[in-house]
Structure 1
Amino acid sequence: MSFRQFSSGSSSKAVATPIPPPLPPPRTPARFTSSLPCDELSALVHEKGEEGGARIPESVLSTPRMVRDAVYSYVHPQDQSKDAYLLSWNKEFAKTLGVDKNKLERSQWSEEEYDHLVKVLTGGARTLSAADYKNTSDGPRLAQPWALCYGGHQFGYYAGQLGDGRAISLYETVNKETGESWELQLKGAGKTPYSRFADGYAVLRSSIREYLCAEFVAALDVPSSRSLAILSTKTQVIREEGVEPGSIVCRVAPSWVRFGNFEIFFYRKDRKNLRKLAEYVTEQVFNLPKDNPEEMTTFAMKNRKNDINMTTTAPEPVITKESATTATEGAAEGAPAAESSPKPAYRNRFAKMFEQIAHRTAIMVSGWQAVGFCHGVMNTDNMSVLGLTIDYGPYAFLDKYDPAWICNHSDTEGRYAFQQQPGICLWNLGRLALTLENLIGAQERVDELEWLELQESDPEKEQHLKEAAQNIIVDILNKNFREVFLKDYRRRMNAKLGLGGPEQVRDEDLTKILVPALSWMDDYEIDFHQFFRDLADYKVQKAETLEENMDQVKQLVKRLLPPVVWQTRGSAAVEESRSWLAAYHTRIVESDELRDDQKRRSKMNKINPAFVLRNWVAQKVIERTTESVRKTREGSQEDDPDKDLLDRVLWMCQHPFGEETKEPTETMDIDACEVKRNNTGLEVYGEFVGPVPEWGQGIQCSCSS
C-alpha cells in the first residue's frame, strides 16, 4: 500500500510524513502555520538540542500557560488510539473534502487503512521531533498540529486569553477539483496551552451533538463548519453529570480564525501581530488584493489637497471626524467655514475585509432566525470571520415559537435568547471593528508603516485614526450587516411561506403576513417547524377570499394548536388568525404561479424540514448510542439495533426535507434510513418525526454541553 508523502512547512527541519487514505493529502507547507507567528516555546520543542544540551520538554505542549506574541502553538494530540474505534464516517462530506472517490465508503477501505485512520484521528499518529522521528517506525505521523491562541468577550465581558482548549488542528488540505481549502481539526484530543483548568477531552454526549448539528445546519443552507468523523475512545471523562465515555470529533472548516484572534492582540496592544493576522485574513482567507499604491496616491492627491506632505516628521494632516465637515477652499484661506459634505473616505483592504465579515455574519444569523436555531453561546471567541456557525455547545432548535427562548441555562440573563441573536452579532462586530479602527482609519496611508507607527505612538493622533474609521465602520454595519440581514431574512421567510423567490418579495409580506403570523404563533404556542409544514397543505383552490375557505382555516388551526390549547382557546385562535391568513390568501390568489397548490406545497416542503434535530431527538440518539458503545466495549453478543444509528440519523440531518412519492404507503430504503409517507401525506423519518413528547419540550443545555 502506498502512502502520500509530505513535508511540514511549519518548521525549518521538514519531516517526511505519510498520510494514509482515506484521509485527503495535506497542503504543504501549511498555509496558516507558515504565514503567522508561532508560540516560540512550543516551536523549540521540535528543535534538536545542542550537543549534550537540554531540550525543551515535550510536556510544555500540553501545559496550560500564558502565550505571548503568537497566533498559535504547536501541540501534540494526546494518544487515545488504544481501543478506539470509528462510530460514524461522513461519506457525503468526504466527497466535498476531496477524498479519493474510491475511498468514500468504509466498505472500500482495507483493514490497515481503517486502523491508520482511527490512529490519526485519535492522536496515535502524533508529532515527534525530527530526531525522534528517525528512530520511530510505528505508524503514520502528522507534522506539528497546532492550537489557536485567542481572547474574547464572554457574556459581554472581555475574558483575556482563551484559545483552543480541547481543539487541535491536524493539517490543511485542498480539494484538487474545486480548489477549496479545508482545515481538519480534532475536538477532544487532549490538553493544550489554552486548556486552563480543563482536561482537553470531549464526552460522547457533546461530540454527537456537534457531529450531527453541523451537518443539519449546512443542509438547511446556513453557513456552518462541517463534520467528517466521530470516534469512541476508551477515555473516561469526569463532568458535572459524573463519569462519561470519551469521544473525538473531526470537524472541518476553511479557516478557524475567530473575532477573538484579533481581540487578544488588540487588548495586549500588540499592533504588529494584529496587522500580521489582518494581512493573513485579507490575503489568504478572503483572497483580497493588495491596495494599489497608484490608486491610493491618486486618491490622496485628489481628495487631500490641503494635507501636508506625507513624512514621518510632518504635522498631523487633517482627518475627518465622524461629525466634521470638509472645509472649503475659502476656509483654508481664512474665510468663514461653510457647511459641506464630509471628505471622501478611502476603503482599504482592511475595511473591505470587515465588509466581508459583516456580510457573511448577516447571512449566517438571518439563516439562524429563519430556521429557528439558537446558538446559545455567542461569545466573540465563537464567532467565525467566515460567518460560519461554529462551536456547537448548548444549541437548540425552537419547539413552540417563543422569541424570548433561552436554550442555555447558563445564560441567566437571557443575553443570547433567540430574538437577541441579530443584535448580538452586531455587538460582536462592533468588538471586532474596535480592533481594526487604526488600520481602517489610516485609509489610503495604511501601508506607510513609519507614518502609521507615529500616529499610534501619540494618543491624540491615534484618536484621529479611530475617528476617521468611525464613518466607514458605521456605513459598513448599515449596508453590509443591517441591510443584508433584512434582505436575506425576508428572502428566506418568503420562501418558507411559499410566496415565491427574491424577486417576488414585497414590503407587505413582512408587515401584514410574517410579523402577525409569528405573533399569533407565540400567543398560541405553535410549533415553529410544524407551522410551515402544515401551512404547505393549505389550499386556496377556487376560493377568491378567505371567507370562502373557512373550513380549511379551522382544520389548519386545529392541526397547529396543541390539543389543550385547541380545547380552551380554539375559537379565539381561529378568529385571530384571520388577519394574517386573509393577507396570505390574497397574496397567493393574485399570482397564477402561487395559486397552484401542489407546486406551492412542493416548493415549501423542499425548504421547510420534516425532520428537525430537536434537543429531544439529540438526547434519544445520545442515550441509545451511549448504550451501544457500552455493549461494544463489554463485548456483548446480543443484537444491537442501534449500532448504525448515528449513520442513519446523520443521513436524516443531511436529507431533512423528506422524499416526494406518488403513493402514500410507499417505503424507500436509502442508505439504511427508512423514509415513509404516512396517510396524512407527511414524510416520516421513523420515530424521530412527530409531535414533541412532553418530556422533551423546552430542553435546555449548559455551556459544558
Structure 2
Amino acid sequence: MASCPFSSATPSSAATPIPSPLPRPRFPAKFTSSLPCDELSSLGHEDGEDAVPVPDTLLSSPRMVRNAVYSFVNPEDQSKNAFLLSWNKDLATEIGVESSKIDKLSWSEEEHQHLVKVLSGGGRSLKTVLEDEKKLKDAGESPRLSQPWAHCYGGHQFGYYAGETINPSTGGSWELQLKGAGKTPYSRFADGYAVLRSSIREYLCAEAVHALGVASSRSLAILSTETMVVREEGGEPGSIVCRAAPSWIRFGSFEIFFYRKDRKNLRQLAEYVVGEVYRMEKDDPKVMAQFSEEFRKEEREAEAKLAKAKVNGNEQKSASTEKSSKDSKDKEDDNTPTRPMYHNRFAKMFAEVARRTALMVSGWQAIGFCHGVMNTDNMSILGLTIDYGPYAFLDKYDPTWICNHSDTEGRYSFQQQPGVCLWNLGRLALTLENLIGAQEQVDDLEWLSQQEADPTLEKKLKGNATDIIVEIMNKSFRDVFLKDYRERMNVKMGLGGADELQDDDLTEIVVPALAWMDDHEVDFHQFYRELADYKVQTAESVADNAGQVESFVKKLVPTPVWQSRGNVAIEECKGWLRPYHIRVLRSKYQQDDANRKAQMNKVNPMFVFRNWVAQKVIERVTDSVMKTRAGSQEPDADKDLLDRVLWMCRHPYGEDTQEVAPKVGDACEVKRNDAGLEAYGDFVGPVPEWGQGIQCSCSS
C-alpha cells in the first residue's frame, strides 16, 4: 500500500529503485490482482518489454469506466521545485519504515530528494540503478515498483492514487494514496489538484482524530508543489498529501455496481472485502448443509401445514361473524412458521461494517467532531473517518451546528450524524441484500441466478435479507452505538469506566449537562477540563459548594450570557450537578478529586484542532511557503510549524503528556501561553471572537 506512486510509467519503462525511507511495496498488489481493472488502463500492463503503452493523457482523461473497481493511472509529475513540508514519523513506524530512517533528519540529501520526487509524481524520471535491478531479478522479484491506481466508486473522486505495502514486523497491510496528484478517469471536469489549505486541514486533522481515540485514515507526508490551483477564491498554492489506510474501499464502491446491475463484480468486490480486508473465513459447506437439513425441512413442513389449514378454513366458512373471522386469524398466526435465518459471510461482513461505523460515529459525538460531508462515497468499509473536507470540531456546544456552509438543509449537522450513518448503512445493505438473503445457499450460483431472474423469487430473497439486516442494524449499530457512547461520555465526565455504568447516568446527568451547555453557549471542550477541577471531597452536596459552583459557571458561560442571565445559568447548572455530585461520591475511586481529575484529563483534550487553529496554521504556513518560493533569506519562524502542530495533534492532552514537545528547528520557538502550557503556544485557550463557528466548503 505504501507504494502506489512508486511505479514506472509503463511496463516497458525503466525500473525505479525504492527510496530508502519507504518500505518495499507488495507486487503485484493484492487489491489489483484480486479485482477487475479498467480494460483500457490494463492494456499491455503485464506484457513486459512487449507492452504497447497507452498515453497517460488518455488514461487520465475523464471517461466512463465500466466493469472495473479501479484504473491504472500514473500521477502527474509535479516534482519540479516540490519540497517536503512535514513527515509523520509515528505513522512511518506503523507502516514499516526502517527504524534508522524514521526521523527525516537521518536521511541523506539524495534520499530526501528521492522521496520528494516519488511523492510528487516524479518517480518515473528517476534513473535506474542497474545493480539494484539485477539483485532483484536474481532474487526472483520484480524490479518494477507497484503500479498506482485510482478507485472507481459512486460519488466524486479527484486525483487519488493507491498502492500497497506490508509492515514486515507486524504483517499489517496498508494502502497509500496521493491526494492532489492530478487527473484520473473519475475526475469528471475537475483538475485533480489539491490546494495547500485543504491539504493542511486533512494532514493534521486525520492525526488529531486518531489521537483522540476515533478510527481514522492517517497522514504520512505533505508536500508543497509549484502548481498554482484555481479555486473559487482565485489562484492558490498547490500541495499533495500522502495518506494511508488499511483499505480505501467505501460504501460507494458497492453502490456503483449495484445501480449498474453488475452483480458479478459486486459479488467479486464483496468476496474481496470478506477475505482480504476482514480476513473472514469462507462459509463451511458442511455447516450450511446441516442448517438446510435441520431448518429448511422444518420450515417447508410448517408452510405446508399452514397452507392446509387455510384450505380447510375456507371449506368450513359459512355465515361467518366478526368473531369467527378473528378466531380464524388468530389460528393462522399461531401456525405461522418460525423463520430461522442463516448469517452467511456477507451478513457477517455487513454486521462488522455496522459495528465499526457505530464505534466511529459514537466517537465523533463524544469528541465533538462534525464530518460535514457524510455521503456514501465518504463512508469507509472499515469504519474509518475519511475524506476530511468541510469538517469542524465544536466550539460552543450546539447540536444543530452545521460545519459545511453548502449544507443548507442541515443534513449533516452534528446531531444528525448517527442517523445519517444508519441511513448510509441502509444503502450499503441494499447492495448486499441478495447475497445476504440467499443465506446458506449463497454459493449455489445456479440457484441464486434463478432466484434473481424471477421477480417473485427475488422478492422472497430480499424479504429474507430484510429480517437479517434489521437484526444487524439493531444489534451491531444501535446497541453498539449507545453502549460505546455511554461509556465514552461517562469517562469524559469522571463517572468511571464501563464497569461503573449506571442506568440513569445518561438521562440524569449526561443529557441534562449537554442541554445546559447548549442553553448557555458553553464551549464543549473547555467544559470537561473545568469539570475536572470540580471538587467533592470537602462538600457533601452541591448546596455546600455554592462558591465553587458559581466560579465554575462564570468561567464557562460567555460574558454576555453571564451578565444577562448568570443567576439562571447557576440554578440550571445545579439541576444536573446535584445528581452528578451524589453519583461521584458513591464511587470510592471517583470521589478522590485528584484521581478523577487525572482520569478526565487523559480523555478530554487541552489542545483541539479547531477551525480557528487550522486557519492560523494555514495562513502562517502559506506565508512561509511563499517566502521559500520567492527565495527569501530572512529567518522563518514558521518553517517547521507543521511538524510542531502535528505533534500537538498527536499529543492533545496537555500537562499529562509525558513526551516533551520537540524544538523541531532553531527557528521554531516553544511558547508559553496564558494557561501555562508551553507545548501548545498560542493555539489553546478561549476561541477568539473572529474564530467562533467557522464554516468551510467542500473545497476547503
Q: Take 2:170 and 2:41, find their aligned partners in 1: how far apart are those partners?
A: 34
Q: Which residue of 2 aligns with 1:686?
A: 681
The one-letter code sitting in structure 2 at the alignment partner of 1:114 is H
| 1:411-440 deviations in Å (ceiling 9; x for gaps) | 010000000000000000000000000000
Alignment TM-score, normalising by the size of structure 2: 0.90
Which residue does the alignment assign to 1:177?
A: 169
Amino acid at match of 1:590: R
The answer to whether structure 1 residue 111 and structure 2 residue 109 are counterparts is yes
* Cα deviation, residue 660, structure 1: 3.5
Using the alignment, how far apart are the partners of 2:208 and 2:618 within structure 1? 16
Alignment partners' CA distance in 2, 1:116 and 1:438? 49
Aligned to 1:299: 291
Give the conservation status (yes or no) of the 8 Å contact 2:11–2:44.
no
Post-superposition offset of 1:176:
1.7
Q: Secondary structure at the match of 1:440?
A: helix
CA 1:676/1:240 → structure 2, altered by over 3 Å: closer, same or farther?
closer
2:561 equivalent in structure 1: 565
Change (3 A) 1:669 1:465: closer
Local SS of the residue matching 2:115: helix
Query: What is the distance in 2 between the residues matched to 1:330 and 1:238?
Result: 69
Structure 2 counterpart SS, 1:556: helix
Q: Look up the match of 2:274.
A: 282
1:547-696 equivalent positions in 2, closer than 5 A: 547-660=543-656, 670-672=662-664, 685-696=680-691
SS in 1 for 2:604: coil
Q: How does 1:382-401 map to 2 (within 5 A)?
A: 382-401=378-397
1:226 is matched with 218
What secondary structure does 1:172 align onto? strand
> Following superposition of structure 1 onto structure 2, how do residues 30-69 of structure 1 map, counting pairs within 5 Å?
30-44=29-43, 46=45, 56-69=54-67
Give the direction of change, closer, same or farther, for the CA distance of 1:624–1:31 in structure 2 (3 Å limit).
same
Identity of aligned residues (%): 67
Counterpart of 2:245 (choices 253, 256, 267) is: 253
Structure 1 unpaired stretches of 5+ = 135-139, 153-161, 308-316, 319-325
Task: Give the structure 1 partner of residue 697 of structure 2.
Answer: 702
Corresponding residue for residue 507 of structure 1? 503
Question: Would the aligned equivalents of 2:647 and 2:661 in 1 still touch at CA under 8 Å?
Answer: no
How far apart are the structure 1 equivalents of 2:253 and 2:605?
Answer: 35
Unaligned runs of 5+ in 2: 134-142, 314-331
In the alignment, the residues of structure 2 paired with residue 605 and residue 15 of structure 1 have an alpha-carbon distance, to the nearest angstrom, of 54
* Distance across 2 between alignment mates of 1:661 and 1:619: 25
Amino acid at match of 2:89: K
Matching of residues 361-380 of structure 1 within 5 Å: 361-380=357-376
Kindly provide the amino acid, as one letter, of the partner of residue 148 in structure 1: H
Q: Which of 77, 80, 90 is residue 79 of structure 1 equivalent to?
A: 77
- Paired with 2:475 and 2:569, the residues of 1 have a C-alpha distance of 39
**1:682 Cα deviation (Å)?**
6.6
Structure-2 residue corresponding to 1:157: none
Structure with more of its chain in helix, by fraction: 2
Distance 1:83 1:16 in 2: 23
| Aligned-pair CA distance for 1:678 | 7.0
Mapping of residues 91-490 of structure 1, within 5 Å: 91-126=89-124, 142-152=145-155, 162=156, 164-169=157-162, 171-305=163-297, 327=303, 329=305, 337=332, 338-340=334-336, 342-490=338-486
8 Å contact 1:98–1:176 — kept in the other structure?
Answer: yes
Give the Cα–Cα distance (whole angstroms) in 1 for the partners of residues 413 and 383 of structure 2.
19
What residue is the counterpart of 2:538 in the other structure?
A: 542
Report the Cα offset of residue 462 of structure 1: 1.1
Quote the Cα distance in structure 2 between the aligned partners of 1:479 and 1:550.
44
The answer on whether the counterparts of 1:283 and 1:289 sit within 8 Å (CA) in structure 2 is: yes
Q: Please, what TM-score do these two structures have when normalized by structure 1?
A: 0.89
Deviation at 1:180, TM superposition (A): 1.2
Quote the offset at 1:59 in angstroms. 1.8
Of residues 197-206 and 672-681 in structure 1, the stretch that sits farther from structure 2 once superposed is 672-681
The 3 A distance-change label for structure 1 pair 45 and 377 is: farther
328 and 272 in structure 1: CA distance in 2 versus 1, 3 angstrom threshold = same
Distance 2:298 2:503 in 1: 46
CA separation of 1:304 and 1:550: change in aligned 2, threshold 3 A: same
Q: Deviations over 1:539-563 (max 9, x none)?
A: 1122111111111111100010111
- Shift in alpha-carbon separation, 1:341–1:520, aligned structure 2, 3 A: farther
- Aligned-residue offset at 1:28: 2.5
Task: Look up the SS of the partner of 1:538 in the other structure.
Answer: coil
What is the CA deviation profile of residues 620-644 of structure 1, one whole-angstrom value per residue up to 9, with x for unaligned ones? 0000000000000111011110000
Q: What letter is aligned with 1:106?
A: K
Letter in 2 for 1:32: F
- Alignment partner of 1:479: what SS? helix
One-letter code of the match for 2:641?
L
Classify 1:81/1:15 alpha carbon distance in 2 versus 1 (closer, same or farther; 3 Å).
closer
